[in-house]
Amino acid sequence: AQSVTQLDSQVPVFEEAPVELRCNYSSSVSVYLFWYVQYPNQGLQLLLKYLSGSTLVESINGFEAEFNKSQTSFHLRKPSVHISDTAEYFCAVRSGGYNKLIFGAGTRLAVHP
């Protein structure tokens, strides 16, 4: 069965510092990977996705993630974080032929001034 491991439950970081949120997956078939962000009392919003093509994917607000097949990883990075990036981040892998998602436990990113 597919699974997703997010190695850090919490990541504290100062504003304007770089950050990496780690995600590893297990899958023996074609992989589709996602990062979702959840702000307090809100639903999940798609941050970025890897479906095919270039292994480096980017979001509109400066986040990027790289699909690494050999290491079965899809780590999320941002070179300089803002206070507004404080949120819960979930890595997910698609399971099966439709959009059924298997989520990791989440990483709480706390950006401090």
Q: Give least dist CB 25 to another protein, A.
A: 13
Closest to 23 measured CA to CA, from 69, 62, 88, 76 = 76
Query: Does residue 103 interact with another protein by CB under 8 A?
Result: yes
Among the listed residues 17, 46, 56, 110, the single contact to another protein using CB under 8 A: 46
Closest to 85 measured CA to CA, from 107, 53, 67, 55 = 107
Q: Which of residues 62-101 bind another protein (CB under 8 A)?
A: 90, 92, 95-101
Sole residue written with tokens 């093509």: 53
Query: Which distant-in-sequence residues (6+ apart) come within 8 Å of 40 by Cβ?
Result: 87
Query: Does residue 25 interact with another protein by CB under 8 A?
Result: no
Among the listed residues 17, 56, 105, 110, the single contact to another protein using CB under 8 A: 105
- Is the CB of residue 44 less than 8 Å from the CB of residue 38? yes
Binding site for another protein (CB under 8 A): 4, 6, 32, 34, 36, 41-46, 49, 51-52, 90, 92, 95-106
